[in-house]
Amino acid sequence: MTGSISTLAPPAARPGGGKNDLKIVVVSVFEWFGELGIFCARLFRAFTSPYEVSELIHQCDETGSKSLPLVALAGAATGVVLSLQTRDSLIHFGAKSMLPAIIAYSVIKESGPVITGLIVSGRVGAGIGAELGSMRVTEQIDAMEVSAVDPFRFLVATRVLACVLMMPLLTLCADACAIVSGWIADTLAEPISLRHFLDNGFKGARFSDFIPPTLKTLGFGFIIGIVACFQGMRTSGGTEGVGRAATSSVVLSSLFVILADVIFVRLILMIYS
Partner 1 sequence: MSQTRSNPNAASVEIRDLRKSFGDQKVLNGITFIVSHGRTVAVLGRSGTGKSVLLKLLVGLQAPDSGSIRVAGEEITGLDPYALNRIRKQMGFLFQQAALYDSLTVAQNVAFPLRNTTLSENDRQEKVRELLSSVGLKEEHFAKMPAEISGGMQKRVGLARALALDPAILLLDEPTAGLDPISAAEIGNLITELKRRRGITAVVVTHDIQGAKTFSDTLVLLNDGHLVAQGTFDDLRKSKNEFAARFLGNGDHVSNGR
> Could you list the residues that contact partner 1 (CB under 8 A)?
42, 45, 50, 135, 138-140, 142-150
Whether 211 contacts 233, CB under 8 Å? no
Residue 172 near residue 73 (C-beta atoms within 8 A): no
Please, what is the minimum distance in Å from the beta carbon of residue 142 to partner 1?
5
Q: How far is the CB of 50 from partner 1 (least distance, A)?
A: 6
Least Cβ distance, residue 136 to partner 1 (angstroms): 11
- Phi-psi group of 10: left, alpha or beta (phi > 0 → left; psi -120 to 50 → alpha; rest → beta): beta
Q: With respect to partner 1, which residue has the nearer C-beta, 23 or 58? A: 58
Q: Which residues, at least 6 apart from 152, have a Cβ–Cβ distance to it below 8 Å?
A: 42, 43, 45, 46
Q: Dump the DSSP string for 161-226.
A: HHHHHHHHHHHHHHHHHHHHHHHHHHHHHS---HHHHHHHHTTT--HHHHHHHHHHHHHHHHHHHH
**Least distance from C-beta 144 to partner 1, angstroms?**
8
Question: Nearest Cα to 123, choosing from 53, 178, 73, 80?
Answer: 73
- C-beta of 131 vs 175, nearer to partner 1: 131
CA atoms within 13 A on the CB side of 171: 30
User: Shortest distance, CB of residue 61 to partner 1, whole angstroms?
Assistant: 14
d(CA 267, CA 198): 28
Q: Whole-angstrom Cα distance, residue 74 to residue 67?
A: 11
Integer CA distances (angstroms), 191 to 47, 120, 182, 185, in order: 52, 34, 12, 10
CB of 137 to partner 1, least distance (A): 10
128, containing H or E segment: helix 126-137
3 DSSP 8-state letter: -
Residue closer to partner 1 by CB (options 12, 146) is 146
Residue 140 Cβ, how far from partner 1 at the closest point, in Å? 5
Residue 2 or 85 with smaller CB distance to partner 1: 2
Based on CB atoms, which residue is closest to partner 1, 102 or 137?
137
- Number of separate helices (H) and strands (E) present in the chain: 12, 0
The residue (of 62 and 261) whose beta carbon lies closer to partner 1 is 62
Task: Decide whether 45 or 266 has the Cβ nearer to partner 1.
Answer: 45
Nearer to partner 1, 14 or 266 (CB): 14
- The nearest distance, CB 195 to partner 1, in angstroms, is 47
